[in-house]
Chain A
């Protein structure tokens, strides 16, 4: 009599070790400096074409996602989205503050250096809130390097929002932003998608085997998506000084960025996970 063995649910899969597929060249500090300075320069020159502003936005997003990663790496699980939302919340307030100062020393439609006051202010606010949450006398969370991460979060968030205002309105005048971004409701889109660009990378890649390069690729991918939809919004609002080619170039740029980094991300994930198999059953380990 043959005994049918119990259902074999263990399915041993041997995954060949593969090399890491994509290296990000900059360390955290270098990335922060390069992205921050470039994005700030692109922010104040609002006469640039939208594509260049989108490059600045992309850099600011990478920086922001990196600072979310820095903040959340020490064991934040479900709190990751709130850190991203906090960053963009800082960003909206900082951007409004920057806009309030925008007219000082500005050249109409081209050059607005005073908006950086908002960026610096939010850096200060981030530093202070990081200090209060880490200090033993107050909240005492004792997260290493939280002050710096919060400061960078505030600055990156403000740059992201300012660059998006600049893309959509073509300038940084307060009344133009109120008319074309807030009254039309585009600000809701900017807010939520920027939040996604900040926190989704780390939230989606969370786990003990998370890798920085892979995480940041996702942030680039999301900024591509944002560029596409902002391009369409620009067409409708008709705000670009360069005519219709400006938004179309932005859309094409967004599509290229999205396709490249989405493919890279998915390929990297499928290569670097334990195994990618067509199908299989559940099993219990240990």
Chain B
């Protein structure tokens, strides 16, 4: 028997997990200087500023996060295949063991790739006299792995919940058609993309360049300055994580969490409005079929899109009002 309240409850759990995941994703990319900040770290040595930063150039954030999450999802799937037959009555027990173990494997792979990226990039910059500082190498691995663990754990949990959503809410026919590793892959790409696009803006740059006028573009002269000094002593990325954990990380998490929340919300509301939800069609197949479509099912898609458009319109108006308020408060851009 399908319980609609349970569906909404699991949707909120997924949104909450997404919030945590993207918060830690942003902080993890700050520990390791991935994506956009990485170009500053890469450039610093080339403009003559030998630094003590970790150069985690695995790839862009979306791809590398997709990798950790997919490894975690695949390992969890392998373990679930073996463990679920042992406890057929309470499959959640298998998940409780399988997901953390899978994520641990992903964390190990994360460390392996981080080491190769840092060592490889530093060796590739020999002529700029950038040495490999072993304390920098070892000291950053654990923060990288733990932050990555949190992200990957949340994403794998989301993928598990989604691929069993119907079973958890009372009707297995509402399970997600995609398998666990595939969902982990998709969510990994998404969390990396949001972490890269929103999180990079709130990297340590705004602290570094606080003495510049608001809105000034960063000139090439300042490139690499980000690797110099913190409030006390030589700056490392651990300072940046501490700084970003106050605003940048939660802000990024909020972005991703809201995206997940609105997306799931509009789908479920659409299904409710089209009267598809409380009682599913009796002949709805277990494996989704392209040729199976009911009037209620089509209407739920239409209602979902309409609700989505309303949400977009509300966000647009809210953003415009907010930006106008900010411009008024902080004055016009200079130097543009």
Q: Which residues of A contact B (CB under 8 A)?
A: 13, 15, 77-78, 80-81, 85, 183-189, 191-193, 195-196, 199-200, 203-210, 214-215, 218, 221, 225, 229, 232-233, 235-236, 262, 265-266, 268-270, 272-286
Judge whether B298 is part of the interface by a CB distance below 8 angstroms: no
Q: Are B178 and A185 interface neighbours, CB within 8 A?
A: yes
CB distance from A85 to the nearest CB of B (A): 7
0/1 string, B116-143, CB within 8 A of A gives 1: 1101111111111111111110000000
Q: From the candidates A77, A203, A269, A278, name the one contacting B123 in the complex (CB within 8 A).
A: A269
Please, which residues of chain B bring their CB within 8 A of the CB of A282? 49-52, 227-228, 234
Chain B: interface residue total (CB-CB under 8 A): 57
CB distance from A76 to the nearest CB of B (A): 13
Q: Are A204 and B131 interface neighbours, CB within 8 A?
A: no
Please, which residues of chain A bring their CB within 8 A of the CB of B136? 279
Given A199-B59, A200-B59, A214-B120, A276 and B132 contact (CB-CB distance below 8 Å): yes
Please, which residues of chain A bring their CB within 8 A of the CB of B78? 232-233, 235-236
Q: CA–CA, A280 to B122, complex, Å?
A: 15
Q: Are A204 and B121 interface neighbours, CB within 8 A?
A: yes
CB distance from B159 to the nearest CB of A (A): 9
Q: Are B134 and A277 interface neighbours, CB within 8 A?
A: yes
User: 9 closest A-B pairs (Cβ-Cβ)?
Assistant: A207-B124, A185-B179, A185-B181, A188-B185, A269-B119, A204-B120, A275-B131, A185-B182, A273-B123
CB distance from A228 to the nearest CB of B (A): 10
Q: CA–CA, A229 to B108, complex, Å?
A: 13
Closest to B66 in A: A192
Can you list 6 A-B contacts (CB < 8 A)?
A204-B58, A204-B120, A205-B123, A207-B125, A273-B125, A282-B51
Q: From the candidates A77, A204, A272, A285, name the one contacting B48 in the complex (CB within 8 A).
A: A285
Please, which residues of chain B bring their CB within 8 A of the CB of A262? 112, 116
Q: CA–CA, A213 to B185, complex, Å?
A: 31
Judge whether B198 is part of the interface by a CB distance below 8 angstroms: no
Closest to A286 in B: B48
Closest to B129 in A: A274
Closest to A285 in B: B48
Q: CA–CA, A208 to B46, complex, Å?
A: 10
Given A204-B121, A225-B109, A236-B78, A273 and B132 contact (CB-CB distance below 8 Å): yes
> How many CB-defined contacts (below 8 Å) exist between A and B?
186
Q: CA–CA, A269 to B129, complex, Å?
A: 14
Q: Are A210 and B124 interface neighbours, CB within 8 A?
A: yes
Judge whether B54 is part of the interface by a CB distance below 8 angstroms: no
Q: Are B228 and A185 interface neighbours, CB within 8 A?
A: no
Q: Are A266 and B179 interface neighbours, CB within 8 A?
A: no
Q: Are A229 and B133 interface neighbours, CB within 8 A?
A: no
Q: A189-B185, A193-B71, A203-B59 are in contact. List 12 more A-B contacts (CB 8 A).
A: A85-B63, A189-B181, A196-B67, A206-B121, A225-B109, A270-B123, A270-B132, A273-B130, A274-B128, A278-B134, A282-B52, A284-B48
Q: From the candidates B123, B132, B185, name the one contacting A192 in the complex (CB within 8 A).
A: B185
Q: CA–CA, A195 to B185, complex, Å?
A: 13
Closest to A196 in B: B67
Given A204-B57, A279-B133, A188 and B63 contact (CB-CB distance below 8 Å): no
Please, which residues of chain A bring their CB within 8 A of the CB of B164? none
Q: CA–CA, A279 to B57, complex, Å?
A: 21
Q: From the candidates B74, B120, B131, name the one contacting A218 in the complex (CB within 8 A).
A: B120
Closest to B119 in A: A269
Q: Are A270 and B119 interface neighbours, CB within 8 A?
A: yes
Q: Are B50 and A284 interface neighbours, CB within 8 A?
A: yes
Closest to A232 in B: B78
Given A193-B67, A233-B78, A274-B126, A185 and B73 contact (CB-CB distance below 8 Å): yes
Closest to B135 in A: A279
Closest to B36 in A: A78
Q: Are A188 and B73 interface neighbours, CB within 8 A?
A: yes
